[in-house]
Structure 1
Amino acid sequence: MERCEKILSHAVLERRREVVGKNHPDTAAATAELTAVLFAQGLYNAAEEIQVKVLEMLREIHREKHPDTIWAIGSLMASYSSLGRDKEAEELRVKVLELRREVLGEKHPDTIRAMGNLASSYFSQQRYREAKEIEIKVLELRREVLGDKHPDTSAEMEPLSLTYEFRFKFWKSIPLGLEANLGKR
């Protein structure tokens, strides 16, 4: 990994800066690749520092509503989560969801995934009521968009089942858990 990091940072990133300039989408992409390497190595602080710069670059290049910028916000959110900065991560999850809804619409798979990520955040903070409301909506959207037998629909039943279980609503939890597991066969 260290060798890969050096190749990316010196050969690719520096070369792109020289050829296309500092504020170019290709330079931002190469810089984002470097953050992925750092993140994979568990160097979350270093990744976060660079992710902030990538996000600033992409906001300048594309503005806030471009898919690359939204992706960069999500990437920074992952670093915040890994660093235990849950409040900041949650704020970014909300931001990503708002942007995805606005740009892609409520029924786009990326929007639905962003909703599920926010529900997961609420669940991990033991905010089960908020998690349940979003998880129900996510499951409804997945059923509508993908159908009952799609693997993503089945996968969404599990978090909702767990939320019901943690809220002591076993009569709702058990059937969802069974349906989710049967959908995997």
Structure 2
Amino acid sequence: MEHPDTLRSMANLASTFWDHGRWEYAEQLEVLVLQTRKMKLGTQHPSTLRSMANLALTFSSQGRWEHAEQLQVQVLETRKTKLGADHPDTLTSMANLAFTWKSSGRNAKAIELLRSCSAKQEQILGLDHPDTLSSSGTLLEWGTKALDVNA
């Protein structure tokens, strides 16, 4: 069960459960994969961080905002330290945390974080990158302007 291919298969199965709204099954597998990766690879390994991020998204889908936020903050801070604040994976973590904050009613914090993320995505990834377009569109959807950082 500790072989990387086995863990990847388990993570893929968890993703399939997630896609079908079977959160409990997804969570069970994600927890198992995360625990094994932490033990084998350490807490700062990219695969471990990806597992943490996936589990956080499952918690978000279940409305378990505190659990999701806790993991997302950990992933974001580790990625900032290991990859840098402008790395695309770090920016993805920022966007995920912004969505969790928005869903849990912390609109001002969510908008502020997503604005910062969107500005960095524009700089690093370009205006036409799907992640940049997604963040900008979400900010418009949330009733704010993507580039209006002084608002």
TM-score interval, smaller chain: 0.7 to 0.9
Q: For residues 78 and 28 of structure 1, what CA distance do their matches in structure 2 show? A: 18
Q: For residues 146 and 35 of structure 2, what CA distance do their matches in structure 1 show? A: 42
Alpha-carbon deviations, 1:46-85, whole Å to 9, x = none? 2211211110110111111111101111111122122221
Counterpart among 124, 139, 142 of residue 145 in structure 1: 124
Does 2:88 match 1:109? Answer: yes
| Secondary structure of residue in 2 paired with 1:84 | coil
Residue matched to 1:118: 97
> In 2 relative to 1, CA 159–57 (structure 1 residues): closer, same or farther, beyond 3 Å?
same
Judging by fraction of residues, say which structure has more helix.
1
* Identity score, percent: 33
Counterpart among 59, 64, 67 of residue 80 in structure 1: 59
Q: For residues 105 and 39 of structure 1, what CA distance do their matches in structure 2 show? A: 29
Does 2:113 match 1:134? Answer: yes
When normalised by structure 1's length, the TM-score is: 0.71
Q: For residues 131 and 146 of structure 2, what CA distance do their matches in structure 1 show? A: 14
When normalised by structure 2's length, the TM-score is: 0.85
Number of residue pairs aligned between Structure 1 and Structure 2? 147
Q: For residues 83 and 147 of structure 1, what CA distance do their matches in structure 2 show? A: 33
Residue matched to 1:182: none
Does 2:35 match 1:48? Answer: no
Cα displacement (A) at 1:34: 2.1
Residue matched to 1:159: 138
Matched-pair contact (CA < 8 Å) for 2:56–2:68: yes
> In 2 relative to 1, CA 52–63 (structure 1 residues): closer, same or farther, beyond 3 Å?
same
AA aligned to 1:121 is T
Counterpart among 63, 77, 87 of residue 98 in structure 1: 77
Unpaired runs of at least 5, structure 1? 1-21, 166-172, 178-185
Q: For residues 73 and 53 of structure 2, what CA distance do their matches in structure 1 show? A: 10
Q: CA RMSD in A?
A: 2.0
Instruction: Tell which structure's C-alpha radius of gyration is larger.
Output: 1
Unpaired runs of at least 5, structure 2? none
Residue matched to 2:41: 62
Cα displacement (A) at 1:149: 4.2
AA aligned to 2:81 is E
AA aligned to 1:85 is R
Matched-pair contact (CA < 8 Å) for 2:115–2:146: no
Which range is displaced more, 89-98 or 37-46?
37-46
